[in-house]
Structure 1
Amino acid sequence: MTTTMEKRRPAATKRAQSARSATAPPVRVSYLIGQLDRVVKRRLAETLAEFDLTLPQFTALSVINASGGMTNAKLAERSLITPQSANEVVKTMEANGWVGRTHHPTHGRLIHLFLTDEGRRVLRGCDAAVDALEASMLEGITEIPLDTLRKVLQRCVSNLRE
């Protein structure tokens, strides 16, 4: 048998939660960005696993593709990983036939990384899957144009890098 107090508790709890949410400060933007970062990384890792790729490998393939080729040091810098990690990523990608190495065209001691045909094929498949993931993430966002969102996020990155 329920008591009067037990019947009142859910309504009282709802009122108390509502009162707290009405007076609570808005969620910090940095907290929301952190949550989004964790969710995106997890979902990207799941998506890329279907292609037997890790997130650092996908990032490296994308960066090499965008530049047309680069050194291991530049790859590390642009992929936001250490040179040692970049070296391990490149070794695996080279073993899989996704990247090749050649001497740098203007500096004989530097090694230049480039995508192979197989690397470009793998990247195209991954790009299509990541495009679908991004479309899912952005679904229902109609308040601001996508190019505006992109500019705002790029500005946030620039502001904190300075």
Structure 2
Amino acid sequence: MEDRKSAPPPAPPPHPARDVTEHVGYRLKRAASALRGAMDKALRRHGLTVPQYSCLELLDQRPGLSNAELARGTFVTRQSMNVVLRGLQDAHLITRATTTDRGRALPAHLTEEGRTRLRAARSAVYAIERQMIDAIPARRLAALLADLDTMADALGD
């Protein structure tokens, strides 16, 4: 057992809070968890997971992204992105070249079926985001988005 005299003093909380549920990190995680649950449920109806949907969105905006670029953009590991891409290929939602002119990266592209599935899934995801946005006053949305970016930047993201 550690000697109490040598133990460091307790760290002061970053802001006044009665318990952990009032901390910013806890509330961010709670909001992220609620969003992920709602997206999981909605996307299941479209035969997609959240990482698959995110991958389709990125490829719609920037066709030809590599596995590594997609992994960074969807917040998963490269190994996990390999699984995501394989599932999307097997479902005929994307195509990937078997060879490439630029190193080892194999660019991915949406198929017509992928675009159709994405449009349907996007409607469901946008409805969830609308539900979240509607819960706060419209005048505060820009500040909320800026604050979230500032917090991520403060942590080096």
1:83-115 Cα deviation digits (max 9, x unpaired): 1111111011001111101244x5164311111
Tell me the C-alpha RMSD between the 2 structures: 2.1
1:19-47 Cα deviation digits (max 9, x unpaired): xxxx9478111111011111111111001
Q: 1:15 maps to which residue? A: none
Q: Which aligned pairs between 1:5-84 and structure 2 lie closer than 5 A? A: 24=18, 27-84=22-79
Corresponding residue pairs, total: 139
Inter-partner Cα distance in structure 1 for 2:104 and 2:37: 38
Inter-partner Cα distance in structure 1 for 2:135 and 2:62: 33
Segments of structure 1 that go 5 or more residues without pairing to the other structure are: 1-22
Q: CA deviation at 1:143?
A: 6.2
* TM-score normalised by length of structure 2: 0.79
Counterpart of 2:121 (choices 116, 120, 126) is 126
The aligned amino acid for 1:151 is A
Inter-partner Cα distance in structure 2 for 1:100 and 1:39: 32
Q: CA deviation at 1:161?
A: 2.1
Identity of aligned residues (%): 27
Q: 1:99 maps to which residue? A: 94
Q: 2:149 maps to which residue? A: 154
The aligned amino acid for 1:69 is G
Q: CA deviation at 1:146?
A: 2.3
The aligned amino acid for 1:110 is A
Segments of structure 2 that go 5 or more residues without pairing to the other structure are: 1-16
The aligned amino acid for 2:120 is G
Inter-partner Cα distance in structure 1 for 2:59 and 2:30: 28
Inter-partner Cα distance in structure 2 for 1:107 and 1:140: 46
Structure with more of its chain in helix, by fraction: 1
Inter-partner Cα distance in structure 2 for 1:41 and 1:110: 29
Inter-partner Cα distance in structure 1 for 2:128 and 2:120: 13
Q: CA deviation at 1:147?
A: 2.7
